[in-house]
Structure 1
Amino acid sequence: MLRRLRGQESEHTPWVRATVLGAGTGLAAGMTLTALASAVAGYFARVVVTPVKERVEDLEILAVVSGPRGDEVILPATPETVVDGVYGLYFHGGKAFARVGEITSFTPRDGTIARRVEAVEGGDLRRAVRGWWSSVAYQTPEAAGFSAEDVVIDLPGGPAPAWYVPAAQDSTGPLAGRGIWAIMVHGRGGSRTEGIKALPAAHSLGIDSLLLSYRNDGEAPAAPDGRYGLGVTEWEDIEVGIQYALDHGAQQVVLFGWSMGGAICLQTTDRSPLAAYVRGLVLTGPVIDWIDVLAYQARALKIPEPVGRLTRWFISNKAGRRVTGLASPVDLRILNWIDRADQLHVRTLILHSRDDDVVPYGPSRDLAQRNQMVSFVPFASAKHVKEWNHSPLRWERHVTSWLTDLFNQPEPGQSSDVDPGA
């Protein structure tokens, strides 16, 4: 039911209508309304917890032209492509990648936009006809200018790749030499490349970084049931990452999470015995309440509220396992940090765009209002998990100043730092 939940950068599209039309045909053939509602809810629930194995190339690549400052790519003007910043454009079935930067021209009459091509890896963009837009700006830490080491983390499901990015030996950053590691946790449908965006901030602070893969992300081993736990199961992989950091010199860690990665970070601090080593959370576009996200997505797709409730029931009850394929139901209540606001005891910084149409920003704002250990920084026009892409200097400024303050305070502060700007 939800292609926006099939990949972090995707939006719902006409294939949803095809599903509804197909269901309508079945109804005309004699399917009862109750059976139709159950079928739609079951399909929606299964999509939510099923990892995406193939991305749809839903963005047309119109042309590549040579400009005075290098190549420019001509794209349809969409709500995503017209936003300033630096983004990724995958093509050739995801085997090739282009980093796309500033807007060089915009022709509303023709519905097209031209953007500068900063780099191309793995293919010929001039020969591409379709691709997909992404918040990933770099394919490797080295491409972003950072030395990295390929390491292997022994997760419960088996070995998984990760990048270790050490702080510069001569770093004069405010947190250098204090045994602090940043552990990056990507979102649903993403990969460890998502965390590369946080490396400039970590580098300026003088801290080490570990960019993890985890179950079902296409790099780490799949979970036994091949399904997302929406944070309820994935936290175990992050716990192993924390232990790896501690075994290699870390004394304290900060967890960075994007989208579902935010939900995973919150579950890690709630469930792991190693939570005592987690000094803070930096969450971008996080899922604070899965119930709210699923209800929002159902409304966006014009799914009736009773069907939306049935979807959540399928995910969170044992009887729904046959439909979802989950080995165990996901208790959505423990993923609701608005109701559990007083149970969050780790200093948290949330950066979230007001126009996020995948994970609404409201719960992020509300959590900061309910828990004084949470600081909230709103963004505008950035879309989902693209706060850094749209305003990298602003994102980095807030993160570095917040972390510097966090580690220079003997005790966590008790005031909520809400930035009204955008």
Structure 2
Amino acid sequence: MKSLRHAVAIAVPALLALGAAAGAVVFTVARRVVTPTVRRNDTHILAVDTGAQTIELDRTPDTELPGRYGLFTSGTYGYVKLGAVLGADSRTVRRKLLTQIEPGAQVDRDAAFSGWYYVTPSELHLPWESVLIGSPAGPCPAWFFPAADTGNADTWVIQVHGRGTTRSECLRAVPVFHALGLPNLVVSYRNDGEAPRSRGGSYALGASEWRDVDAAIGYALRHGARRVVLMGWSMGGAIALQTAVSSGNRDRIAGLVLDSPVVDWRTVLRFQAREEGLREPLPALAMGVLENTFTARLSGAENAIRFDRLDMVARASELHAPILILHSDDDGFVPADASHALAAARPDLVTMPAFAVARHTKLWNYDQTRWTAAITDWMSEHGLGARAGS
């Protein structure tokens, strides 16, 4: 009996400690989901040859991709553009530099690999201006690219960037829509580092950010648009989908173009948890924390997040506008499962051409020709370009 009491005396504190540790992990995961992210270095620069204008990187699923990309560095040049893969072995990749690096320039070893390619609107060599959109969060900065023929441009494209990025992510698509004769409005939204900060400064995963996109639709309608096409990248896809089912202007939404979109957050968060070595029930508990008003606020969220409301496969019947989904089956960050499920649920609305290898939001970089053709053909098919018979 004495030994049993001794065992219980040891076991109970241990179990309490284990429960407390698990609880801490759950709240940490929940907080990470709603906290705006800071760009993390994920690539090592091993060598720069300023004579040949080449750069050697450690080999990863991203750095080995064909196409044009970029690196965020903390050296002299900041953002460095990368071209074709020139050689590779099991550990390294050598690529062509598209940004001229001068001899003696400081390029730090740690960098962040990027699919943006373009960082500023002036790099597109198209007319543009900065505008402010009044939203419930406050004045949100946007870039406006007018159509070449403003007399026949009553369909506007509104682009929405993803989580932990800024408007620059969207610049790759501007020339495609400009070639179709459409104005582009590239918007920001609350807590993205450019638009105003909300009270708690946290993401709502689309549950509140859609209101800022809805304000952008209102801006477009006041400035000559009769209808809009929403393009969302990654979490911007989730925001665009929420706008499509929640906006009072949803009858003016003529179509959605979604690149690597979040269609169902549960699918994404479970996948990312597995990638980090977390197993059930921890991801489910973290989402449960965010669904409860009290514990959500303890985790940094401003309000409870209703994941059922963010599940657009379950809400597929509420969608009415045609949708083009561009999603690599080898995304590696936002799995394409929910995109395929939405396509299966609404084959009458959803077009989803097959893409592979391209990774997350890097389809333009990997195969610009096919990506551009997919958008151009779909827009023309639905009469959504000023030069497509709209």
Q: Compute the TM-score of the two structures, normalised by the length of structure 2.
A: 0.90
Tell me what 1:137 maps to. Answer: 117
| Change beyond 3 A, Cα 1:28–1:185 | farther
Tell me what 1:173 maps to. Answer: none
SS in 2 for 1:48: helix
If you compute each CA radius of gyration, which structure gives the higher value, 1 or 2?
A: 2
SS in 2 for 1:264: helix
Partner residue of 2:299 out of 300, 320, 324? 324
Tell me what 1:400 maps to. Answer: 376
CA distance in 1, matches of 2:286, 2:222: 42
Gaps of 5+ in 2: 1-11, 386-390
1:16-415 equivalent positions in 2, closer than 5 A: 31-52=16-37, 54-66=38-50, 71-92=53-74, 96-108=78-90, 111-119=91-99, 126-169=106-149, 177-371=152-346, 372-407=348-383
| Change beyond 3 A, Cα 1:309–1:271 | same
Q: Which amino acid aligns with 2:47?
A: A
Question: How many residues matched?
Answer: 371
Q: Which amino acid aligns with 2:335?
A: P
| Change beyond 3 A, Cα 1:246–1:258 | same
1:166-219: CA deviation from partner (whole Å, max 9, x where unpaired):
12239xxxxx81411111100000110011011121022110101011111111
Q: Which amino acid aligns with 1:302?
A: G
Give, in angstroms, the shift of residue 278 of structure 1.
0.7
Give, in angstroms, the shift of residue 230 of structure 1.
0.2
1:253-310: CA deviation from partner (whole Å, max 9, x where unpaired):
1000011100000010111101111100000110110011111122222322111111
CA distance in 1, matches of 2:288, 2:218: 35
Q: In 1, are the aligned partners of 2:229 and 2:254 still within 8 Å (CA)?
A: yes
Q: Which amino acid aligns with 2:80?
A: A
CA distance in 2, matches of 1:278, 1:169: 22
Give, in angstroms, the shift of residue 343 of structure 1.
1.6
Q: Which amino acid aligns with 1:155?
A: S
Tell me what 2:4 maps to. Answer: none
Gaps of 5+ in 1: 1-26, 171-175, 410-422
Q: CA RMSD in A?
A: 2.2
CA distance in 1, matches of 2:265, 2:15: 34
Give, in angstroms, the shift of residue 31 of structure 1.
4.8
| Change beyond 3 A, Cα 1:131–1:408 | closer
Answer with 246-255 or 143-152: which moved more: 143-152
| Change beyond 3 A, Cα 1:336–1:94 | farther
CA distance in 1, matches of 2:149, 2:329: 39
1:318-359: CA deviation from partner (whole Å, max 9, x where unpaired):
131243122210100011111122121111000000011211
| Change beyond 3 A, Cα 1:125–1:182 | farther
| Change beyond 3 A, Cα 1:73–1:125 | farther
Q: Which amino acid aligns with 1:161?
A: P
CA distance in 2, matches of 1:327, 1:153: 23
Q: Which amino acid aligns with 2:135?
A: L
| Change beyond 3 A, Cα 1:153–1:95 | farther
CA distance in 1, matches of 2:278, 2:191: 27
1:3-14 equivalent positions in 2, closer than 5 A: none
| Change beyond 3 A, Cα 1:95–1:216 | farther
Answer with 76-85 or 176-185: which moved more: 176-185
Give, in angstroms, the shift of residue 94 of structure 1.
11
Q: Which amino acid aligns with 1:390?
A: Y
Q: Compute the TM-score of the two structures, normalised by the length of structure 1.
A: 0.83
SS in 2 for 1:334: coil
| Change beyond 3 A, Cα 1:408–1:246 | closer
| Change beyond 3 A, Cα 1:295–1:136 | same
Q: In 2, are the aligned partners of 1:57 and 1:93 still within 8 Å (CA)?
A: no
SS in 2 for 1:276: helix
| Change beyond 3 A, Cα 1:352–1:367 | same
CA distance in 1, matches of 2:13, 2:60: 36
SS in 2 for 1:266: helix
CA distance in 2, matches of 1:146, 1:190: 22
